[in-house]
Amino acid sequence: MILIKPNFEILSIMNGKPFIEPLLLIEQAGRVCYKSEEAITSKSSKEFTRLRIKQGHESIIEHSAMTVKFICDRGVTHELVRHRLCAFSQESTRYVNYKGGCTFVIPPWVDIEEGEYQESLAPYKLQKDETSLLWFQTMQALEIDYQILINYGWSPQQARSVLPNSTKTEIVVTANFREWRHIFKLRCAKAAHPQMREIMIPLLEQCKELIPVIFDDITY
């Protein structure tokens, strides 16, 4: 059994590098609305985009997009795929066979190190935390159950019925900037699920560094 923490990787930001370029595309598209293309300069895209977002004219930021690969648990992806204006490609438990061992994502409220756990005994630090110990033992038991079912001839799509939300999955998400703003506002908020905030807040902070203006006003 392998236990990991969630993580993400930005695979692509539309219109290439450097990362300031998406703003140039947004300005070029947005100025068509006002027929003010002559006002474009080498430094105008930041302020133009900032003012349009402040005015609520967010349709223009749909002209650029970002693709992110998430490695997280299936409970998180159940929420992610509810965002309809996205493209999703997700690891399939119907076709992927985990007979060699399962990987589970450690919830932020379980204090345990990442790594491979082959022994039946739980780490010492869990011995004094009954609920975290229960989670650890449940993951061990479900991995064993899954492998037994596979060995008895069940297909992966049948055996997956015993896998929990904590099962690690990978999902690639592509959305335009306007939809990413919507995702961040919902999924970084205080009321969002802790595991969703665990991965979305760091992604938001990285986006603020890489893509000027677009996400600067989003707080959590």
160 is catalytic: no
Q: Where are the alpha helices (DSSP H) in 81-176?
A: 130-151, 156-159
Residue 67's beta-bridge partner residues? 12, 174
Distance CA 90, CA 70 (A): 9
> How far is the CA of 64 from the CAs of 43, 61, 130, 180, in angstroms?
18, 6, 48, 11
- DSSP state letter for 58: G
Tokens of 118: 């082959």
Query: What ranges make up the beta strands (E) of the chain?
Result: 2-4, 7-13, 65-73, 86-90, 103-105, 115-116, 168-176
Cα–Cα distance for residue pair 140/144, rounded to 1 Å: 6
CA 79/CA 172 separation, integer angstroms: 14
Indicate which residue of 31, 52, 160, 187 is catalytic. 187
Report, as residue numbers or ranges, the catalytic residues: 187
